[in-house]
Amino acid sequence: MEVIDGVRSAGIDHAGELLRLDLGDRGALEHVHRVLAELGYAAQEVPDAEIAADLRWHRGSGVRELSWEEAQVIARRVVPPFGRRHRLRRSLAERLLDVVAAALYECFIGHPLAEASAAAALRDACSRAVEQAARALVGDELARELSDALWTEPG
């Protein structure tokens, strides 16, 4: 978010539910909303008075830790139903879970969002990374299906 013109700084709470922005230009808010929507997130303003005063905000290296957590959350949302649907052995499903989380994490930290169009590029890059990582475990067709499931499995 900090690479968007008008955003001076950004932080995220540990749960990954709240994004705190310091805007130098109030007009940047509309652009931020568009970028978040492209990434599949709904956004609304929350007055400071409604946010717990003891909430910790993460920036910089803390965001890498949150990226790892987010990668694991997505993998746990997608891989188990995929594994059940295809009757994967438990050991294979567990390995696939690890591989998907690692691929997503590397993608997240390796593709910073520089502009709104980067949201689609990030999604495409992460899809390719997951497909590539899963291919050795489940083959081309299932790897492609798993990659598609990242964006279609209910969360």
Residue 132's pLDDT is what? 97
Backbone torsion region of residue 135, taken as left when φ is above 0, otherwise alpha when ψ lies between -120 and 50, otherwise beta: alpha
Successive 10-residue mean pLDDT values, the chain, 155 residues: 76 71 82 80 76 65 68 93 96 97 90 60 90 97 95 66
Using alpha carbons, list the distances in angstroms from residue 118 to 13, 55, 96, 104.
23, 29, 27, 16
Residue 48's pLDDT is what? 73
Residue 135's pLDDT is what? 97
Residue 91's pLDDT is what? 96
Distance CA 45, CA 53 (A): 17
The answer to whether 128 touches 147, Cβ cutoff 8 Å, is yes
Using alpha carbons, list the distances in angstroms from residue 60 to 71, 138, 148.
17, 35, 30
Residue 21's pLDDT is what? 80
β-strand partners of 12: 19, 58
Residue 45's pLDDT is what? 79
Residue 140's pLDDT is what? 97
Q: What is the pTM of this model?
A: 0.61
Domain boundaries, the chain: 7-58, 61-149
